[in-house]
């Protein structure tokens, strides 16, 4: 009897081993992509939606050709909860790599969390395409320690320095419109920046750039990133007699700021970066008081950066009922980035994929992607900015719709060709500004 018990036990163990081996074997027929982000928030939802669209599109075509066989894409969601806890973010990344055994990771949003998650991915030699964080340091690490950080690539948006440069162009554009339309000889600019690491270099750059553009910087106001009442700041800005408020907001403060400024009819236009204003929900969240707020953005309905934009935006809107924001660029990171690189390499080996991916130049719905090297010729895996590559858009809320006003006959240098994307509309000055300044 004891012998039979032992035999049954051994057989059962052998059966379990066989089943688990089969499961692992069948798992190897898919490419596992971890999608990491704050999944309870719009940013994480964008990550997941973009990746879902990518996986559906690839799998509908039979999968990705990896050498002799086609492999389907399997997504694994990880909630980083990074707005509240960096520890949660690193745990989520550990789980993706150790338990879910993903081949690649896309996503991440908050720089502080992405820096920590990047280290874990790099230690495990996992290609991590960042879709959300803009801090330059993420890519500088690649140049400083290529062997360790070569598995990191920036997917979206381009870095803080380029974000700053683009937003200054928007500021200059709006400043010129005010000067000419309202006959304001010297345009005054108030800088409103949330208290966050990424805004520090932008504030310094803005204080230098504004006088250089023939405008006057009248002060810097720095509300908390999660401030819910900014009426005091707005009163002070109004007292400064600013004509433009140059906003540098990525957090929730962008909503009360825009809403209260609109309700109080502060006679100053808002331009710069307001991440909350990039979302369809902004109109409802500000109860329509965010009208005329302008911000940098990646996508807008009816605007085409290239021939891929319309199909992506239309499908996304049809599938998810809202305009994609830049965190939905997990789509292009997978479809136009990873999938093609894997097919070219014919393998999932990250060490073979990196040299191919870093030299590729390819089109994505937001523009042409190419990776930069630093002044010493070292790889940065940083996105190239400028005409013909990625530029982003200048968008403005106009009566409930997000319209793009830039680039419209934009010349990066006097000799450069004009850049105009399809679907541009003129910038609108709020009527209370016109009423106050038009003579």
- The span from the CA of 329 to the CA of 54, in Å, is 10
* Nearest Cα to Cα of residue 405 among 282, 255, 269: 269
Name which of 240 and 340 has its Cβ closer to another protein. Answer: 240
Residue 220: is it exposed, middle or buried by C-beta count within 10 angstroms (0-12/13-18/19+)? middle
Candidates 27, 67, 284, 388; binder of another protein (CB under 8 A) is 284
**Would you count residue 263 as binding another protein (CB under 8 A)?**
yes
Q: In Å, what is the CA distance from 248 to each residue of 24, 231, 294?
A: 48, 17, 11
Which of 85, 235, 347, 359 binds another protein (CB under 8 A)? It is 235
Q: How far is CA 299 from CA 396, 404, 405, in A?
A: 12, 9, 12
The smaller minimum CB distance to another protein, of residues 292 and 421, is found at 292
The answer to whether 107 contacts another protein (rule: CB under 8 A) is no
Q: Considering the rule CB under 8 A, would residue 250 count as an interface residue with another protein? A: no
In the complex with another protein, which residue's Cβ is closer, 45 or 215? 45
CA angle 349, 351, 354 (to 5 degrees): 105
Alpha carbons within 13 angstroms on the beta-carbon side of residue 5 total: 2
Tokens of 272: 């710069």
Instruction: Kindly give, in sequence order, each residue whose CB lies less than 8 Å from that of residue 297, ignoring residues fewer than 6 positions away.
Output: 278, 325, 326, 392, 393, 394, 395, 402, 404
184 counts as binding another protein under rule CB under 8 A: no
233 is a contact residue toward another protein (CB under 8 A): yes
Stretch that binds another protein, among 144-152, 279-287, 302-310, 367-375 (CB under 8 A): 279-287
Which residues does 191 contact at the CB level (< 8 Å), separation at least 6?
A: 203, 206, 207, 210, 217, 219, 220, 221, 245, 246, 248
**63 vs 256, which CB is nearer to another protein?**
256
Choice from 123, 197, 216, 229 touching another protein (CB under 8 A):
229
Binding of another protein by 85 (CB under 8 A): no
Crossing angle of helices 309-320/42-60, nearest 10°? 110
| CA-to-CA dists, residue 383 to 338, 379, 388, 391, angstroms | 15, 11, 12, 10
DSSP 25: H
Minimum Å distance from CB 51 to another protein? 17
| Contact flag: residue 207 with another protein (CB under 8 A) | no
291 lies in the binding site for another protein (CB under 8 A): no
- Rounded to a whole number of angstroms, the minimum distance from the CB of residue 288 to another protein is 10
Q: Which is nearer to another protein, 63 or 254 (CB)?
A: 254
Segment near another protein (CB under 8 A), from 132-140, 226-234, 293-301, 364-372?
226-234
Answer for which of 11, 98, 232, 311 binds another protein (CB under 8 A) is 232
**Is residue 226 near another protein by the rule CB under 8 A?**
yes
Q: Are 35 and 76 in contact (CB under 8 A)?
A: yes
d(CA 426, CA 431): 15
Among 7, 101, 144, 287, binds another protein (CB under 8 A): 287
Give the nearest distance from C-beta 278 to another protein in angstroms. 13
Total number of residues that touch another protein (CB under 8 A): 41
Of positions 67, 211, 281, 400, contacts another protein by CB under 8 A: 281
Longest dimension (CA), the chain: 105
Rounded to whole angstroms, how far apart are CA atoms 370 and 212? 30
Q: For residue 118, count CB atoms less than 10 angstroms from its CB and return exposed for 0-12, middle for 13-18, buried for 19 or more.
A: buried
> Binding residue for another protein (CB under 8 A) from 151, 168, 221, 292?
221
The two structure tokens encoding residue 233: 């700041």
Considering beta carbons, is residue 171 or 261 the nearer one to another protein?
261
Segment contacting another protein (CB under 8 A): 98-106, 230-238, 309-317, 344-352? 230-238
Contacts of another protein in 43-82 (CB under 8 A): 45
Q: Under the phi-then-psi rule, with left for phi > 0, alpha for psi from -120 to 50, and beta for the rest, what region is 343?
A: alpha
Residues 21-50 within binding reach of another protein (CB under 8 A)? 38, 40-42, 45
For the bound state, the minimum distance from the C-beta of residue 217 to another protein, rounded and expressed in Å, comes to 12
Instruction: Return residues touching another protein (CB under 8 A).
Output: 38, 40-42, 45, 83-84, 194-195, 219-229, 231-233, 235-236, 238-239, 252, 255-256, 259-260, 263-265, 276, 281, 284-287
């Amino acid at each position: 009897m004891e012998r039979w018990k032992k035999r049954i036990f051994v057989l059962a163990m052998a059966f379990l081993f066989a089943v688990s081996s089969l499961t692992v074997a069948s798992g190897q027929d898919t490419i596992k992509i971890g999608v990491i982000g704050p999944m309870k928030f719009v940013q994480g939802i964008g990550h997941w939606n973009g990746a879902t669209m990518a996986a559906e599109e690839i799998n509908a075509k039979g999968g990705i050709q990896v050498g002799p066989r086609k492999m389907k894409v399997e997504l694994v969601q990880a909630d980083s909860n990074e707005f509240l806890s960096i520890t949660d973010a690193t745990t989520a990344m550990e789980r993706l790599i150790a338990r879910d055994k993903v081949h690649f990771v896309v996503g991440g949003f908050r720089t502080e969390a992405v820096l920590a998650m990047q280290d874990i991915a790099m230690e495990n030699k996992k290609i991590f395409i960042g879709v959300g964080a803009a801090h330059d340091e993420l890519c500088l690490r690649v140049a400083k320690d290529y062997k360790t950080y070569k598995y990191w690539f920036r997917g979206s948006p381009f870095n803080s320095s380029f974000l700053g440069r683009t937003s200054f162009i928007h500021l200059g554009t709006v400043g010129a419109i005010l000067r000419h339309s309202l006959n304001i000889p010297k345009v005054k600019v108030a800088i409103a920046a949330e208290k966050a690491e990424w805004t520090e270099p932008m504030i310094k750059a803005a204080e230098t750039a504004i006088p250089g553009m023939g405008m006057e910087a009248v002060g810097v106001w720095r509300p908390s990133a999660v401030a819910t009442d900014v009426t005091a700041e707005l009163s002070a800005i109004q007292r400064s007699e600013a004509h433009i408020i140059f906003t540098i907001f990525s957090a929730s403060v962008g909503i009360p700021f825009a809403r209260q400024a609109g309700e109080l009819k502060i006679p100053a236009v808002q331009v710069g970066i307001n991440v909350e204003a990039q979302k369809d929900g902004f109109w409802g969240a500000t109860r329509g008081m965010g009208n005329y707020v302008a911000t940098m953005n990646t996508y807008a309905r009816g605007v085409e950066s290239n021939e891929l934009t319309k199909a992506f935006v239309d499908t996304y809107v049809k599938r998810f009922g809202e305009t994609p924001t830049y965190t939905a660029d997990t789509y292009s990171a997978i479809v136009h980035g990873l999938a093609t690189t894997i097919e070219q390499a014919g393998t999932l080996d990250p060490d073979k994929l990196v040299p191919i991916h870093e030299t590729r130049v390819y089109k994505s719905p937001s523009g042409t992607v190419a990776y930069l090297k630093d002044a010493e010729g070292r790889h940065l895996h940083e996105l190239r900015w400028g005409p013909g590559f990625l530029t982003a858009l200048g968008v403005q809320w106009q009566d409930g719709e997000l319209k793009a006003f830039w680039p419209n006959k934009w010349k990066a240098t006097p000799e450069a060709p004009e850049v105009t994307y399809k679907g541009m509309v003129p910038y609108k000055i709020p009527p209370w500004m016109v009423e106050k300044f038009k003579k």
